Each structure stands twice: as C-alpha cells, then as structure tokens.
Amino acid sequence: MARDRGQPPKTDKATVVLNIRDENDNVPTIDIRKIGRIPLRDGVASVAEDVLVDTPIALVQVSDRDQGENGVVTCTVVGDVPFQLKPASEGEGEPQNKRKYFLHTSAPLDYEAVRDYNVVIVAVDSGSPSLSSNNSLLVRVGDTNDNPPVFSQAVLEVSFPENNLPGERVATVVATDADSGKNAEITYSLEASPLSSEAPGGIFSIDPDSGDVSVLAVLDREQRDTYEFQIAMTMSHASCRTCSLSM
C-alpha cells in the first residue's frame, strides 16, 4: 500500500504475486536393484559367463525431485563395457522425473578374459545448468566349464631303455585347462590306442593327478619294441580328450 502525507491521505494498493520458479536444485538419484535370479549384494552382481546376450542383470531406477525440465533425467552407462540400459517400460503415463531401466548384457561375457566390470551409470537432468550424479555396480563374472583340457602335446614319443625296474616312471603328460577351480581339475587315465585293441593297463599305469606314466613290467626290446596307447583326461562334467603316447 502507498499513502501520501496530505490530509486526508490518499492511498493505493497493489498486489505482488510471487511465482516461485522451480530451481534446478536436486541432483538425480540412481538406485540399482536386484532383478530375477541374478544375485546382487552390496553393489556386487554375480553373473555367470555363459549368460545369453541381452540378459537383464539389474533394475536401475532414476528419479529427480525437481519439476519440468529440471527433473527430466537421461541415464547412460559410461565407457566400453558389455552392458546397456533399456527402458523398463515405454509407459506414456510414467512421470518424467521417475524412470526405470533394465541393465542388460550387450555382448558375451568371458571369465577367462575379464573377471570384473565396474559399471558406472550416469544420470543427467535437463535443467539449465543441468545436474548429474552417478552410481556404479560391480559385475563379477562367474566361471563356467567352457574350456576343455588340452594336452601340451598331442603325440608324445618316448624312448626308454629296456630291462627297466618295474614301477619306473617313463613319462609325464601335462594338460592345461583355461578354466578355474573344479572346472580345471584334471584326472588322467590310460586307454587303449585305437590302432590296437590291447589295454595298456597291465604294462603301464598313470597317476591320475600328476600324469606320471610308470611301467609295471620289465620291458624286453627283443620281445617287443613299440608300445602305443592313449591317455585320457576326464573332468567333472566335462569332455575327455586324449593324447597318444608311443614308446
């Protein structure tokens, strides 16, 4: 109100309408949650290396307390990782300042190549200036038995003097397996060569753990000068590959 100092005073009134404009004063928040059967604890998701491409591994919820453009959030995965965000719903009625995404695998995983990914998600609002925040998820890739054991040599030729002592070691076979733990434990055994029907068991034995091949009998070159047999590897729920040993 305005009043002059005359007598009697005259006055006038004006109304001030204060519109409170929304300031962009809230940063977007990112919430990462467990989804489906993928375990997620303390920011760590465990994903087996054999999951199909496009498997959802976590639910990502972004929200912003501002209104209008100040609360419209876009969300992306940072850097070159085999994970991608996809909107969880195309819902028209969804509030713009609250969105859900699935974090998907976007390429095959391989435990033997990369065991951990730090997946950083950034959310940016559309305010001016815009505000952003980030959150991250550690994806721990789990081993599956996707590699067969491989002998260092497919054919091993050994010459060994006759008149040996029974039980003497004649060779050691070595196989490697790119997997880990049980998936890489190898057990060795002897098999007849496909060329002969004779079982090597009576003359030779192999240590299932070390791969040491020993001769049980005394060899006599005048009686026989070559022996050929195969060594097989067996693993827990795995394939079996052979290597030929000829003497």
Identity (one letter) of the amino acid at 31?
D
Q: Which residues pair with 44 in a beta bridge?
A: 41, 138
Q: How far apart are the first and last CA of the chain?
A: 115
What residues numbered 175-204 form the site for Ca ion, per CB under 5 A?
Answer: 177, 179, 183
Told to check if 145 binds Ca ion by CB under 5 A, we report yes
The smaller minimum CB distance to Ca ion, of residues 27 and 170, is found at 27
What residues numbered 112-141 form the site for Ca ion, per CB under 5 A?
Answer: 112, 125
Candidate residues 57, 58, 60, 64; the one interacting with Ca ion per rule CB under 5 A: 64
Question: What are the Cα distances from residue 168, in Å, to 163, 193, 205, 232?
Answer: 11, 21, 10, 21
Interface with Ca ion: number of residues (CB under 5 A): 16
Candidate residues 55, 70, 135, 244; the one interacting with Ca ion per rule CB under 5 A: 70
Return the DSSP state at 143: P
Identity (one letter) of the amino acid at 189?
S
Q: Which residues pair with 11 in a beta bridge?
A: 3
The smaller minimum CB distance to Ca ion, of residues 70 and 244, is found at 70
Burial class (CB in 10 A: 0-12, 13-18, 19+), 75: buried
What residues numbered 73-102 form the site for Ca ion, per CB under 5 A?
Answer: none
Told to check if 57 binds Ca ion by CB under 5 A, we report no
Residues of the shown chain interacting with Ca ion in the complex, contacts defined by CB under 5 A: 24, 26, 64, 66, 70, 110-112, 125, 143, 145-147, 177, 179, 183
